[in-house]
Structure 1
Amino acid sequence: MDNYTFDQLPQAMRLLHEKMDRLELLLTEHQPPQDTETIFNVTQAAAFLHLSVSTLYVKVCHREVPFNKRGKRLYFYKTELDAWVRKGRKKTVSEIQEEAGQHLLIGKGKA
């Protein structure tokens, strides 16, 4: 670390300010673009879900899958489709057994 005299402080501050400006410019230039929500049309959503387009239409008709409609067109948000798929997760046998064991322990504690 350099020691500056009182007379050198204005020049040191100017250099520091210039370096900070360059650093700020580099950061703003290399900043990744804001991640926008991915929107799918019917064909893209069906491919994403590994379903046929007709099966996806049936699920839309029965309101089983989240969708948006503007006019006659259907749109699907990728995050909503991800959440919908995750919501359908089934528990493993070991998870069910663990929950049952916890439930039995709680029941014994109350008796």
Structure 2
Amino acid sequence: MENITFDQLPQAMRLLHEKMDRLELLLSENQSPQDKDSIFNVTQAAAFLHLSVSSLYVKVCKREVPFNKRGKRLYFYKAELDEWVRKGRKKTLAEIQEEAGQQLLGVKRKA
């Protein structure tokens, strides 16, 4: 990576913006709308989440996982399952310590 001078900054930003546009285009081409709207049955959803079918039923009964029910059948949207998994992310110890440090700095500044 080369060093960029202040005078070269506008051109570097333009190139960066063009590369980001190309990346967005590539990502949107690779992700078909059909993937977002995929509907899973219980067996498919359990396989997608790497759970047993019985474990998935337990999560459904406790309303821990998003689902749709039509009659006696359960259906799961792939996008909703993806979002559910993402929301379950736990912070690392380093992230918690960083947040605590930021909070302490904020308290000290107010005092």
Does TM, normalized by the shorter one, top 0.5? yes
TM-score, normalization by structure 2: 0.69
Identity of aligned residues (%): 79
Runs of 5+ consecutive residues of structure 1 not aligned to the other structure: 1-30
RMSD of aligned alpha carbons:
1.6
Q: Which residue of 1 aligns with 2:33?
A: 35
> For 1:104 and 1:90, how far apart are their aligned partners in 2?
21
Q: Which residue of 2 aligns with 1:75?
A: 75
Q: Which residue of 2 aligns with 1:109?
A: 109
Q: Deviations over 1:21-72 (max 9, x none)?
A: xxxxxxxxxx99x623011000000000000000000100110000000111
Which contiguous aligned blocks of 4+ residues in structure 1 show a shift greater than 2 angstroms?
Answer: none
Shift of 1:109: 0.6
Would you say 1:58 and 2:58 are equivalent positions? yes
Runs of 5+ consecutive residues of structure 2 not aligned to the other structure: 1-28
1:99 aligned partner, one-letter code: E
1:56 aligned partner, one-letter code: L
TM-score, normalization by structure 1: 0.69
Q: Which residue of 1 aligns with 2:25?
A: none
Shift of 1:78: 0.5
Instruction: State the secondary structure of the residue aligned to 1:48.
Output: helix
Tell me the number of residue pairs that the alignment of Structure 1 and Structure 2 aligns: 80
Instruction: State the secondary structure of the residue aligned to 1:75.
Output: strand
